[in-house]
Amino acid sequence: MSTTVEEQKQQKAFGWAATDQSGTLSPFNFSRRENGDEDVTLKILYCGVCHSDLHVLKNEWGFTSYPVVPGHEIVGVATKVGKNVTNFKVGDRVGVGVLVGSCKTCECCQQDLENYCPQIIFTFNSYNPDGTKTYGGYSDMIVVDQRYVLRFPDNLPLDAGAPLLCAGITVYSSMKYYGMTEAGKHLGVAGLGGLGHVAVKIAKAFGLKVTVISSSPDKESEAINRLEADSFLLSSDPAKMKSAIGSMDYIIDTVSAAHPLLPLLSVLKVNGKLVTVGLPNKPLELPVFPLVFGRKLVGGSDVGGMKETQEMLDFCAKHNIAADIELIRMDEINTAMERLAKSDVRYRFVIDVGNSLSQ
């Protein structure tokens, strides 16, 4: 786009934003660009509340630019499509995840790995090439380049499907990349929250044996009865951890609080893989001995590219996988954030934007 910020047409938008490090959200008027030739405009119906929203609201990672409108698990209905848009039409159920832009020309973008593009533009708290800020899904509408819009399958519920756009792709992509999808193999899921519970469901759909690893004994019943994990490993019980040594092929570590890696590495078999997708504030402690003596690895992964995100949505639709959610009104968001900070949610809050966001 060659127009300057002043020349580019803007349209009114409304949402909830935080204006300082307290992270308290309140009604906020702002503007978005008009729908361009490549764009799709969504009327937002639901938006998942990701823990990253909370980290950014409170500037816990140190790069928040206020005012910030969070939200990157966005689903809605297309209300406008630009003249170059071929894959979407007005009325389509659509979603937007963690990114709304990338350079489109680098190696990563060419390999459908836009999420690793060095010039990635995040859905919120980021900057467009024209200098305007990006605002996320705690708002009434959003305008996004078609490349970063997803088609929401018909049989995926919009509200419970929203969290797949970040939590779902995060675990799906890491499992595919690290080759953790072989039926019959044994996967450990460390942490049972937004990411963890979706990991259990997706892993079961791949035919894996799944053990939930958690420090809270009261999650055992949840894990086995509600989420249908095959077993539960209490990480705070040294005897149980000892008997699990060398029993798992892979572990997805969704825990973002600081925690020791050695116990998890010990549970892996030789050639085992530990993939970390939680984003802890501080560095982790990495004992090298188990890596060397067992040829184990620790890798990271960060959401997924657009092609893979679509593939993930279609996979979840096919296997009837959606998140376990608690639907909230927009004006309940601050209370929800307080509860989220204490992990008091099973397992994702989703804001009923369509029915509860009003001026």
Least distance from another protein to the Cβ atom of residue 287, Å: 4
Q: Could you give the dihedral angle defined by the CA atoms of residues 87, 155, 170 and 352, in that order, rounded to the nearest 10 degrees?
A: 100
Least distance from another protein to the Cβ atom of residue 306, Å: 16
Residue 92 vs 302, nearer CB to another protein: 302
Q: How far apart are CA 136 and CA 151, in angstroms?
A: 18
Q: How far apart are CA 163 and CA 73, in angstroms?
A: 5
* Total Cβ atoms within 10 A of residue 356: 14
Question: Terminal CA-to-CA distance of the chain, rounded, Å?
Answer: 31
Residue 78 vs 261, nearer CB to another protein: 261
Q: How far apart are CA 11 and CA 276, in angstroms?
A: 40
Residue 239 vs 288, nearer CB to another protein: 288
Least distance from another protein to the Cβ atom of residue 244, Å: 15
Least distance from another protein to the Cβ atom of residue 16, Å: 27
Longest dimension (CA), the chain: 67
Residue 36 vs 272, nearer CB to another protein: 272
Least distance from another protein to the Cβ atom of residue 46, Å: 26
Least distance from another protein to the Cβ atom of residue 265, Å: 10
Contact, 138 vs 72, CB < 8 A?
no
Residue 1 vs 270, nearer CB to another protein: 270
Residue 9 vs 295, nearer CB to another protein: 295
Residue 61 vs 127, nearer CB to another protein: 61
Q: How far apart are CA 137 and CA 74, in angstroms?
A: 6
Q: How far apart are CA 124 and CA 49, in angstroms?
A: 13
Least distance from another protein to the Cβ atom of residue 284, Å: 5
Q: Could you give the dihedral angle defined by the CA atoms of residues 155, 156, 158 and 159, in that order, rounded to the nearest 10 degrees?
A: 130
Query: Which residues contribute to the site for another protein (CB under 8 A)?
Result: 108, 113, 116, 118, 177, 261-262, 270-271, 276-280, 283-302
Least distance from another protein to the Cβ atom of residue 303, Å: 10
How far from chain centre, in Å, is Cα 232?
A: 24
Residue 157 vs 294, nearer CB to another protein: 294
Residue 27 vs 280, nearer CB to another protein: 280
Residue whose C-alpha is closest to residue 96's, from 121, 127, 113, 116: 121
Least distance from another protein to the Cβ atom of residue 275, Å: 8
CA distances from 202 to 98, 133, 199, 301, 323 (A): 19, 34, 5, 16, 11
Q: How far apart are CA 245 and CA 132, in angstroms?
A: 51
Q: How far apart are CA 312 and CA 211, in angstroms?
A: 22
